[in-house]
Amino acid sequence: MAEYYLYLKYLHYLFFISWMAVLFYQTRLYVYHVENMDKPDFVKVVEVMEYKMYHYIGWVALIGSFFTGILILIAMPDLIKTGHIHVKILVVILMAIYHLDLGRYMKQLKEKRCNKSGIFFRAYNEVPTIAMLIIIWVMIVNPF
């Protein structure tokens, strides 16, 4: 399976980039949503965008990232012995929790029971940026 490593890595990067795009944009949609609650027609459009982004792109990208990551570890089992992969796995698990949390906020927004502000979602939008920086750093620098 090692002969497929670079192809798996390529697919893993594509899924990861797609997943990060969803995590960045989903919260931006929530900013638009909460700041325009007085415009029901606009909110309806944003809700459709939120749903499609989260379910059709976000989940596919998350599952693809996990699946290809697992296949990479199967193809290159010695990777699990490196310290940096443990940091990456931890951060990816935290990102998956963040992803689930975005789903919770989407449901609250749809049911009009979310009390978070646009400022909150702007700040919350920085979480995946920090996670991405950590993952890229540990995978390129291999500090552990």
What would the pLDDT profile of 66-112 be if each residue is shown by its tens digit? 999 999 999 999 999 999 999 999 999 999 999 999 999 999 999 99
- The SS3 call for residue 12 is helix
- Residue 115: what pLDDT? 97
- Residue 1: what pLDDT? 76
Rounded Cα distance between 3 and 127, Å, is 35
- Find the mean pLDDT for residues 33-38: 98
Tell me how far apart the terminal alpha carbons of the chain are, to the nearest angstrom. Answer: 26
Contact predicate 22/53, CB 8 Å? yes
DSSP 82: S
Rounded Cα distance between 47 and 107, Å, is 10
Rounded Cα distance between 82 and 85, Å, is 6
Question: Is 86 annotated as belonging to a binding site?
Answer: no
What percent of the chain clears pLDDT 90, i.e. is strictly above it? 94
Average pLDDT over the chain reads 96
Quick one: pLDDT band at residue 132, thresholds 50, 70, 90? very high
